[in-house]
């Protein structure tokens, strides 16, 4: 049974230049990621939702508790279908819980060009404001 965790992202985590450099420097590995450390309670986090499948405005991370080789969406295999569906369904549940009836955005960064800096697949749930297109 796959488990998940949801945690809020703080503004200090979102420095664009630092984030881009981190994404370019990062690479998949079997070493524990920051998400593994949050899941294992090795570092503190503002966990707003947790169930036995997935971990939560305006910027919420939904993190599978088990990586199972799923370091990024491009690495997904058929065996990951359940957790991929669970990630999206959990995003819908959290959006409702957070009062995002007017809409929200789901983001998955994949690979260096996609600005992925943590190689543990996760979903960003964004809401609480009017989104624009293109996003950037």
| Per-residue pLDDT tens over the stretch 62-108 | 999 988 999 999 999 999 999 999 999 999 999 999 899 899 999 99
- Domains of the chain, residue spans: 4-127
Question: Cα–Cα distance between 116 and 23 in angstroms, integer?
Answer: 5
Report pTM.
0.68
Assigned CATH topology for domain 4-127: HIT family, subunit A (3.30.428)
Question: Cα–Cα distance between 50 and 64 in angstroms, integer?
Answer: 10
Tell me the catalytic residues.
122
User: What is the total residue count of the chain?
Assistant: 136
């Amino acid at each position: 049974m796959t488990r998940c965790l949801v945690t809020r992202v703080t503004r200090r985590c979102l420095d664009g230049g630092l984030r881009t450099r981190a994404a370019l420097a990062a690479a998949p590995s079997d070493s524990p990621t920051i998400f593994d450390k949050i899941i294992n309670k090795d570092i503190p986090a503002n966990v707003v939702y947790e169930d036995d499948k997935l971990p939560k405005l305006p910027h919420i991370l939904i993190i599978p508790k088990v990586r199972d080789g799923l370091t990024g969406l491009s690495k997904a295999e058929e065996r990951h279908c359940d957790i991929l569906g669970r990630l999206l369904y959990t995003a819908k549940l959290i959006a409702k819980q957070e009062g995002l009836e007017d809409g929200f955005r789901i983001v998955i960064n994949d690979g260096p060009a996609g600005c992925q800096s943590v190689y543990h697949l996760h979903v960003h749930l964004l809401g609480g404001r009017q989104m624009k297109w293109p996003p950037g």
